[in-house]
Amino acid sequence: MIEIKNIVKRYAMPNNPHQTVHLSPIRSNAVDGISLSIKRNSTTLLKGPNGAGKTTLLSIIGGMTRPTSGRVIIDKKDISSLPENFLSEVRKKYFGFIFQNYQLISGISVIENIMIPAYTSGKNPERLRQRAISLLEKLKIPHLAKQKIEHISGGEQQRVAIARALVNNPSIILADEPTAHLHPDLTVDFIKIISELIQGGKTVIISSHDVKFVNSGITERIIELTDGKVSNDIQMLAN
């Protein structure tokens, strides 16, 4: 369902002030020629040290960052060169993002945060609210709907971030270090929720250092990145 072909992402580094002016900027490849094929309804763990390229790769797969070169193919459609308005439709249809530190918006309520990715979908606002409420119920936090983000706990914020990722009912969930700043017990909760999503047919890609994911029973494949390249690709479960 997800195919990436020879993906390179090169960020321009700031010019070194001591460099002679005519030299081009120093460049480094955050992702350095990765090709992968990821099956529908599978769970993949992206591992690797800081700076290995995990966030960049997730963001390219999800159409949030454009690769310098290479192709991203989702359900046989090449999304790499789509104009921004089409790409944003693809993002909404296919992807739910759980960002590092969640990136929830303070000052507005839990339910408003959850509805944000759906605002431009043209959905009836009342139906959208119902959808958000049913997600809150599913995640066992319906009582928090009207709370401001800054007034809920880290574990509750994690659930809100998951609900927000699910609001457009995407088929693929991309989670970037989703448990990095949480009490270890909450990783177990997160794994439980993810395993339900997988049973519901979702495809999940998680970037994490957390060893709990390795033997969680949900991880089917571990892809290890080093310096922007795949250094290991392990199938965990016989399918």
Give the interface with ligand ADP as residue ranges (CB under 6 A): 11, 30, 48, 50-56
> What minimum distance in Å lies between the beta carbon of 31 and ligand ADP?
7
Look at the alpha carbons of 125, 203, 59, 159 in this order and tell me if their dihedral is positive or negative: positive
Nearer to ligand ADP among residue 38 and residue 58 (C-beta)? 58
Tell me the CA distances in angstroms from 68 to 8, 65, 81, one per residue in order: 6, 9, 11
Provide, rounded to whole angstroms, the least separation between the CB of residue 196 and ligand ADP.
Answer: 26
92 contact partners, CB below 8 Å, separation of at least 6:
117, 118, 120, 121, 168, 170
* DSSP structure class, residue 170: -
Q: How far is the CB of 40 from ligand ADP (least distance, A)?
A: 24
Measured from the CB of residue 86, what is the shortest distance to ligand ADP in angstroms? Answer: 24
14, 25 in Cβ contact below 8 A? yes
The CA-CA-CA angle for residues 142, 116, 203, to 5°, reads 80
**Coil, strand or helix at 237:** coil
Sign of CA dihedral 183, 234, 197, 163: positive
State which residue, 30 or 36, has the beta carbon closest to ligand ADP: 30
The residues with which 174 forms a beta bridge, in sequence order, are 97, 205
70 vs 155 by CB, closer to ligand ADP: 70
Give the separation between CA 176 and CA 97, rounded to whole angstroms: 8
Least separation in angstroms between residue 26's CB and ligand ADP is 11
Minimum distance between the CB of residue 220 and ligand ADP, rounded to whole angstroms?
21
Minimum distance, C-beta of residue 73 to ligand ADP, in the bound complex (Å): 21
Tell me the residue type at 230.
V
If the CB atoms of residues 30 and 162 are measured against ligand ADP, the closer one turns out to be 30
- Name the residue nearer to ligand ADP (CB basis): 94 or 99: 99
Name the burial class of residue 211, with classes exposed (0-12), middle (13-18) and buried (19+) by CB atoms within 10 angstroms of its CB: exposed
Nearer to ligand ADP, 55 or 168 (CB): 55
**Nearer Cβ to ligand ADP (13/237):** 13
Structure tokens at 97: 């993002």
